[in-house]
Amino acid sequence: MKKSILVSGGTKGIGRAIVERFAKEGFDIFTCSRNGQDLLALKQFLEQAYPGIAVSTYLADLSKKEEVLSFAESVKAKGIPDVIVHNTGIFLPGSLHEEPDGNLEFLMDTNLYSAYYLTRAFAKELIQRRSGHIFSIGSIAGITAYANGGSYSVSKWAMLGMTKCFREEFKPHQVKVTSILPGATLTDAWAGVDLPATRFVNAEDVADSVWGAYNLSPGAVVEELIIRPQLGDI
């Protein structure tokens, strides 16, 4: 039976790498972005590279609850994904005591609440089906405090805690839940940094790790996976 994956924020970086990894394996794709041109380019690329899959893209700003719920309903109208990857996120540097007012709220809305509302939107169907795998793309900033990490770190610590709770809640229903915690990954977020590419994790390595965790037998689950640059954190 044909399988599908939902990846929020799937046009760039880690999300794009995960989309391409699963498309290569024949999965139908559901994804969203705030940029319509990026969505169109991704759809055209995937349909040309992998003509056997269906690609559904949606314009959505997942920092807004109503758009998260609208995105979820649009996907559900076509089917319930076998895999859900919470990848939407944004990084804003700053210290908690002096960052601009509103940073915490915006980062929590984008990095945490988007995953909260999206998981809840599919929870009933996943439980009834008794299958599925939910991945949260967190960060090592969710297990290590950084002076300049500010609200970003707070949102990622919260994401890890929430994912742990979902793991316990879905455990009896045969729905797997995994936290992926990458270190510095070579994406647009690091553009302009004067460091060699070899100092970073490749987004494709994260995607391969998600694919590997997904392919374990039904009786095993990767609860947390930390991926760091070989030479350590930047």
Identify the CATH number of the domain in which residue 63 sits.
Answer: 3.40.50.720
Residue 233 lies in a domain: no
Residue 232 lies in a domain: no
Q: What is the pLDDT of residue 227?
A: 93
| Beta carbons of 40 and 117 less than 8 angstroms apart | no
Dihedral angle sign, alpha carbons of residues 65, 35, 209, 203: negative
- Sheet (strand 55-59) strand order: 55-59, 28-33, 4-8, 83-86, 133-137, 176-182, 224-227
Residue 234 lies in a domain: no
- Domain interval for residue 152: 4-227
Q: What is the pLDDT of residue 12?
A: 93
Residue 81 lies in a domain: yes
Other beta carbons less than 10 A from residue 221's beta carbon? 17
Q: What is the pLDDT of residue 140?
A: 92
Q: What is the pLDDT of residue 216?
A: 98
Kindly list the averaged pLDDT for each block of 10 residues, start to end, along the chain of length 234.
95 96 98 97 97 97 98 98 96 91 96 98 98 96 89 96 98 98 79 78 94 97 94 84
Q: What is the pLDDT of residue 29?
A: 98
Burial of 101 (0-12, 13-18, 19+ CB in 10 A): exposed
Q: What is the pLDDT of residue 185?
A: 82
Q: What residue type is 188 in one-letter code? A: D
Q: What is the pLDDT of residue 148?
A: 86
| Total structural domains within the chain | 1
Q: What is the pLDDT of residue 154?
A: 96
**Facing residues of 5 across strands?**
29, 83
